[in-house]
Chain A
Amino acid sequence: MTLRSAAPMSLVCQHCKDSRATVHITDVMPEQRERHLCQDCAEKEGIIIKQHPLSTNAILQQFMKHKAVKGVADDLSCPKCGMSFREFHVKGQLGCPHDYEVFGEVLKSLIERTHEGATRHVGKSPSTADAAVRKRTGLLRLQRALRQAVEDESYEVAARIRDQIRVFESP
């Protein structure tokens, strides 16, 4: 059982004897003892788990500092809900579905960064979405599957997918 206490200043990590200890633990089992570790050593011990190196918030912060974004984003605000890009930056939440259009390219490049470079939806659509939308996402999905099959050198699968794409593309 471990308890975290308030951080006493300027302790050196007991493990690596190098970095400043920022994690302070009082073990009460199996015996009472205090330990002072730095972030890295605490992570190695499994006491805390490293967050993904780029959390969404970090990406957003980094992104807003970017020179190209600064000027452009400042002026953007949604006529429907009144949300400005600056306000979005503070809250981390958009104001309405229309914001995705209003914040256009600026938001798009943010989305790209948070989703491993992806810019297009290939998953399911509402059952009421029109046939054209379904056809397009279906086609995108097949094209991705084709690329994968070629990469895996599964040429028989690739040939089958190619035929499916032809059917899809025929009017």
Chain B
Amino acid sequence: MTLDELTLTTGEWLRGAGNLSEIVLSSRIRLARNLAEYPFLSTASSTERTEIYRRLADTISALPQERDALLIDVDEADEVDRQVLVERHLVSQQQADSEGRRGVSISPDEKQALMINEEDHLRIQVMGSGLELYALWSRVSRVDDALSERLAFAFNPELGYLTACPTNVGTGIRVSVMLHLPALRMTKEIDRVARATRDMRLAVRGMHGEGTDAAGDLYQLSNQTTLGKTEEEIIKGFSDQIVPKIVEYERKARESLVQTSPHLLDDKIWRAYGVLSNARRLSSDETQTLLSPLRMGIGMERFDRFDISALNEMFLYSQPGHLQKMHGQSLCDEERDVVRADYLRRRIAEN
């Protein structure tokens, strides 16, 4: 398997299937781990950094379940490939932009990506479409167990797993779900989400993590507290309480739009379709903004010109990295906007 082969499909978390998938785009869990015998990356020498990389890469590829995994040396990858990895959520922006020896091991089903030398020595992450945190937890925990039989992770009985940043200490777990909340934004009730999450100490951010705004009405919800609770308790809070509650808010907001202003709603959907299928230049941001009402329209069965998998394809392939990968060469912003609009018109016409 190669990265080029990966980019032929939209991958696991954009399957558009699974529990509550009309609102919950994807679920993700990651565990932060560090090798006990090495310093954290902020003080590691470049020799130590390379040793950590080799140690982890060798151990991971020796695991029976990782036999077919694709190991990518992010330091050697070109800019477009790095961007593609970020857009597929296989590495973080930080991992793509930092320097020194670092990499990622990706499972063939793209459900699992182990980042080496990100902020911590190792970040084991698993992801899936819709709300499926329990299954993801058992998978990520199995990988963690297999690795901890072969490696000594920095662990202290009182504080748990020791991490480069004390905000991750303890379980080292970050649970996140990506939610599509266009109706709550249209009805100006999005602050209900902020209120609902506040007392649970969860962070709400734009799709690409900290400091990003909610392009395309996509919000990422994740836990902040990693100490003093078990992994299962954290996951249960998400799966059984907070996510169903927000999904309910969004559903109610959609229903009320249908009741009070169906023409406004349909106009928003069909106007977006009109622009996407006719525009000659489209920026990445505008595309995300236009795809949002269509995603909602498909979920509410008010739009049927294409289905959710076609939409997810457009969602991913219109992003700068994938667009350039598909085009076979790097493009400047201006050229990208033209190529993007061409691609979207063609893709829509195929339906």
Contact = CB atoms under 8 A, between A and B. Distances in A.
Interface of A: 1-3, 28-30, 43-53, 56, 80-83, 91-97, 100, 107, 110-111, 114-129, 133, 136-137, 141
Given A80-B39, A91-B42, A97-B154, A118 B190 contact: no
A45 B188 contact: yes
A116 B194 contact: no
Contacts of A114: 166-167, 224-225
Interface stretch (B3-11, B157-165, B315-323): B157-165
A50 B155 contact: no
A98 to B, nearest CB: 8
A117 B42 CA distance: 27
Contacts of A95: 39-40, 42-43
B160 A123 contact: yes
B164 A93 contact: yes
A151 to B, nearest CB: 14
A80 B155 CA distance: 17
B203 interface: yes
Contacts of A124: 141, 144, 171, 230-231
B15 interface: no
A123 B173 contact: yes
A119 B165 CA distance: 15
A121 B289 contact: no
B271 A30 contact: yes
A128 B165 CA distance: 24
Contacts of A46: 184-185, 188-191, 214
Give the one of B40, B203, B219 with max A CB within 10 A: B40
B73 to A, nearest CB: 23
Given A44-B188, A46-B184, A116 B40 contact: no
Contacts of B204: 49
B227 A121 contact: yes
Interface stretch (B51-59, B106-114, B145-153): B145-153
Give the one of A2, A110, A111, A141 with max B CB within 10 A: A111
Nearest to A49: B204
Interface string B201-232: 11111100000011000010000111111110
Contacts of A129: 155, 157
A28 B286 CA distance: 10
Q: Which 6 A-B pairs have the closest CB atoms?
A: A118-B228, A121-B160, A46-B190, A96-B39, A123-B171, A97-B154
A53 B229 CA distance: 21
A1 B167 CA distance: 35
Nearest to B31: A124
Give the one of B154, B159, B185 with max A CB within 10 A: B159
Contacts of B36: 97
A137 B188 contact: no
A97 B155 CA distance: 8
A98 B102 CA distance: 23
Contact of B171 (A43, A49, A83, A121): A121
B43 A115 contact: no
A52 B201 contact: yes
Nearest to A57: B167
Nearest to A110: B166
A118 B224 CA distance: 12
B166 A111 contact: yes
A16 B131 CA distance: 39
B119 interface: yes
Interface in B22-49: 34, 36, 38-43
A105 to B, nearest CB: 13
Given A1-B286, A115-B170, A94 B165 contact: yes
Nearest to A53: B198
Contacts of B166: 94, 100, 107, 110-111, 114
Given A120-B158, A124-B230, 10 more contacts: A49-B190, A49-B219, A52-B203, A56-B165, A97-B154, A100-B166, A111-B159, A116-B201, A124-B231, A127-B145
Give the one of B155, B227, B229, B231 with max A CB within 10 A: B227
Given A1-B285, A94-B166, A111 B149 contact: no
Contacts of A43: 191, 194
